[in-house]
Structure 1
Amino acid sequence: MKLILSLCTSIILTGCVGMPEKVTPVQQFDVHKYLGKWYEVARLDHSFERGLTNVSAEYSMREDGGVRVINSGYSSEKNAWKEAEGKAYFVEKTDQGYLKVSFFGPFYGAYVIFELDHEGYQYAFVSGPDLSYLWLLSRTPTVAQKVIDKFITQSKAIGFNTDELIFVSHQEKR
């Protein structure tokens, strides 16, 4: 009975670190080049980001070798900034863009970088554990149209519903 309970607990706690079938994490990933501030350019809608503008993520190293994640965004409905701190760890290899991230205790979700500007680390296409999680991140609040086109083409080919993408407004509020 204890073995079954342990197995069920393991499945629940690690069940969201998988990735969509056609998503492949980038290789030759350098977490140190990825650190710093990223702006959310586009996303699929989720309750934890619903209605937010000026969304960004700040990544820094943790003492335990993981990555500290601070997500922030502005809610015009509440006239306030919303911020969440999380932690991320590599799932397999440290040179692969495949991490698990947690904002809620022991519960982790996949963070899969499936496209990356390897030269300058200026943009990244990120998936979650399934086809309902998708982000286009950039070092700047806007990107060239060719990056958006590439993001939509690649994401659609994988199976993401790109017709439902939200393009995030970035007008400074602080």
Structure 2
Amino acid sequence: MRTRTLSLVAMLAAVLAGCSSTPARIAAVPEVDVPRFMGDWYVIAHIPSWPERNAYDAVETYAVREDGRIQTTFRFRDGGFDQPLRTMSPVGTVREEGNGAIWDMQFVWPIQAEYVIVDLDDGYTRTIIGRSKRDYVWLMARQPVMSEADYQASVRRIAELGYDVSKLRVVPHGGTKPD
């Protein structure tokens, strides 16, 4: 009886493990020239994290620190163009295995969030940042506006990556970079 019970428990565990919905690791671009990626990126659209759910004028700025990590400054206005500027300053660590395209982003020690450059145009003017969980995504550009054709192509790419694009939010920009 004990053997039969253990076998039944083992079979049930195997079935439940097979039903697990662990998302496939999201594919990064083959290589990123990290120094070239540095600078300002306007968030054009996103599936936002909680703090940025009502972001206006959202700009992410990257700079390589002396220790090789990436100092990030995320500036935005919460809820409207007339709201005060808010800032978050996570630090990124570029993983060796990603050829510059896979980072760990740390907002609070010791927690690091996955940050993957999943799409990047040859001119380093448009990018998509994703996560394997497909919970958040960021479409960013070097300018606060993007052509409709580029935007639609980016939305198609986001869908191909496994995201529910009905959750995308376009980030309003007032046309200038927040100070």
Superposition TM-score, scaled by structure 2 size: 0.79
Partner of residue 31, structure 1: 34
Distance in 1 between residues matched to 2:149 and 2:61, nearest whole Å: 25
Asked whether the equivalents of residues 24 and 132 of structure 2 are also in contact (C-alpha less than 8 Å), the reply is no
Superposition TM-score, scaled by structure 1 size: 0.81
1:79 is aligned to 2:87: no
SS of 1:93 mapped into structure 2: helix
Flag the structure with higher helix content. Answer: 2
Partner of residue 165, structure 2: 162
Letter in 2 for 1:126: I
Partner of residue 14, structure 1: none
Which range is displaced more, 133-142 or 91-100? Answer: 91-100
Distance in 2 between residues matched to 1:20 and 1:150, nearest whole Å: 24
Number of residue-to-residue matches in the alignment: 155
Match of 1:98 among 98, 102, 107: 102
Deviations 1:137-156 (A, max 9, x none): 10000112222122111211
Q: CA deviation at 1:22?
A: 5.9
Partner of residue 107, structure 1: 111
- Structure number with bigger Rg: 2
Asked whether the equivalents of residues 91 and 99 of structure 1 are also in contact (C-alpha less than 8 Å), the reply is yes
Identity score, percent: 22
5+ long unaligned stretches in structure 1: 1-18
Structure 1 segments of 4+ aligned residues over 6 angstroms from their partners: none
